[in-house]
């Protein structure tokens, strides 16, 4: 097969779709030496990476991701490549279809929380509805996202294939000395609660802040809360409730050390298409508390504690349970490591390759 992949997200840094595209490409390269892969890119950033991959090539376009211009350039470059199948790695599907198409939909947050997106983005997502309906096959990161696709777009169940994501192998338990050295370098205490994520409303940071403030005010637990990013108006409201440590931007290679250093990771999100942070934390052996909505129960299974996304008391109780009961924390650590081991990029690549084969045969 000749397979074209929109690899432009892999040229970006940090965000989940970039990591998905990057990890998938690496896993496909390790798995498949037979099929030809044509990576559609904006630059030469991936050139050194594919050196030695004889069945991989780069095809450059000028259009940025999620731009109107790409709707002209993608069909043009696909006409040059003449692939058996095209994989749109995130949302962006050419409105003009030139070949069988597989599209990965990571979430439908623009439909679940439309007020969080501007007019331009909203119009773009709505325009993609027709392209999605014409896609040969759709990959969803989770059963929750598949259910959303069926509900919002009235798609047939058999058209949507669930292929879970995974985490990089760097997310693993680290040695005590390395973790202590990291804590010392960052000025972190021996025990703290961790939140990793943006300040977007659906991340629901206020729930964690309320629960943490409740514990501190009751005097039950005096423990710092460590948050990635900088202070903002929301966190300023809680500045008198206890100690909050802001780490600023945390680079990808630093994240495994941060998870390892934490006593507890709390992810109170209202909606996730998959939810990589809880899986990253579990892979590092850190106990996880998250919410019982969207894809999050699929990710953590019985290895983490689940709470309703609006219940401050339930979250406070769950945090107390983990932070005061060492046996509970150890149990969650062991269960989390086992759960995380069930997700792999090799498995994701194998199932994605099967999706390419199915789509090209249609």
Domain boundaries in the chain?
Answer: 2-166+344-360, 176-341
Is-contact 172 283, C-beta < 8 A?
yes
115, pLDDT greater than 80:
no
CATH number of the domain at 176-341, please?
3.40.50.2000
The pLDDT confidence band at residue 263, using thresholds 50, 70 and 90, is very high
Cβ atoms within 10 Å, residue 326: 9
Distance of CA 317 to the CA centre of its chain: 27
Is-contact 336 304, C-beta < 8 A?
yes
313: CB partners within 8 A, 6+ apart: 211, 214
pLDDT in tens, 195-226: 999 888 999 999 999 999 999 887 777 789 99
- As given in the structure block, the two tokens for residue 131 are 């392209």
Count CA atoms closer than 13 A to 19's CA, side-chain side. 19
183, pLDDT greater than 90:
yes
Place of tokens 């202070």: 231
The architecture in CATH of the region 2-166+344-360 reads 3-Layer(aba) Sandwich (3.40)
Residues in the chain: 362
Domains 2-166+344-360 and 176-341 share a fold: yes
* pLDDT number for residue 104: 95
* pLDDT number for residue 258: 98
Which of 115-129, 263-277, 306-320 bottoms out in mean pLDDT, i.e. has the lowest? 115-129
131, pLDDT greater than 90:
no
* pLDDT number for residue 119: 64
277, pLDDT greater than 80:
yes
- Single pTM value for the model: 0.93
Which of 6-15, 72-81, 140-149, 310-319 bottoms out in mean pLDDT, i.e. has the lowest? 6-15
- CA–CA distance, 167 with 343 (Å, rounded to integer): 8
- CA–CA distance, 182 with 178 (Å, rounded to integer): 6
The full DSSP string for 254-271 is GHHHHHHH-SEEEE--S-
- CA–CA distance, 204 with 206 (Å, rounded to integer): 5
Distance of CA 298 to the CA centre of its chain: 13
Give CA separation, 155 vs 45, 94, 136, 137, 159, in Å.
Answer: 36, 18, 12, 11, 7
Which of 89-93, 172-176, 258-262, 276-280 bottoms out in mean pLDDT, i.e. has the lowest? 89-93
């Amino acid at each position: 097969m000749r397979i074209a992949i929109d690899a432009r997200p892999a040229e970006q840094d940090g965000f989940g779709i970039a990591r998905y595209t990057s990890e998938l490409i690496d896993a496909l390269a390790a798995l498949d030496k037979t099929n030809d892969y044509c990576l559609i890119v904006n630059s030469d950033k991936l050139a050194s990476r594919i050196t030695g991959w004889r069945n991989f090539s780069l095809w450059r376009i000028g259009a940025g991701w999620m731009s109107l211009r790409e709707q002209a350039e993608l069909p043009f470059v696909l006409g040059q490549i003449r692939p058996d199948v095209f994989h749109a790695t995130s949302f962006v599907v050419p409105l003009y279809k030139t070949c069988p198409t597989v599209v990965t939909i990571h979430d439908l947050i623009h439909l679940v929380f439309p007020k969080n997106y501007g007019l331009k983005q909203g119009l773009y997502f709505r325009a993609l509805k027709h392209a999605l309906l014409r896609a040969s096959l759709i990959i969803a990161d989770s059963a929750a996202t598949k259910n959303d696709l069926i509900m919002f777009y009235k798609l047939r169940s058999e058209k949507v294939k669930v292929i879970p994501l995974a985490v990089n192998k760097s997310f693993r338990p680290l040695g005590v000395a390395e973790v202590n050295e990291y804590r010392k370098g960052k000025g972190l205490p021996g025990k703290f609660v961790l939140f990793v994520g943006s300040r977007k409303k659906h991340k629901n940071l206020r729930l964690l802040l309320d629960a943490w403030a409740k514990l501190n005010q009751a005097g039950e637990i005096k423990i710092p809360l460590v948050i990635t990013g900088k202070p903002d108006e929301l966190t300023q409201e809680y500045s008198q409730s206890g100690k909050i440590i802001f780490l600023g931007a945390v680079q990808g290679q630093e994240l495994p050390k941060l998870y390892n250093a934490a006593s507890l990771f709390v992810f109170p999100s209202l909606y996730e298409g998959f939810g990589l942070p809880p899986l990253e934390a579990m892979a590092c052996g850190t106990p996880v508390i998250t919410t019982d909505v969207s894809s999050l129960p699929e990710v953590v299974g019985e290895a983490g504690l689940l709470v309703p996304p609006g219940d401050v008391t339930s979250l406070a109780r769950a945090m107390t349970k983990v932070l005061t009961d060492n046996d509970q924390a150890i149990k969650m650590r062991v269960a989390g490591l086992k759960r995380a081991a069930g997700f792999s990029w090799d498995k994701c690549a194998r199932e994605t390759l099967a999706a390419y084969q199915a789509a090209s045969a249609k």
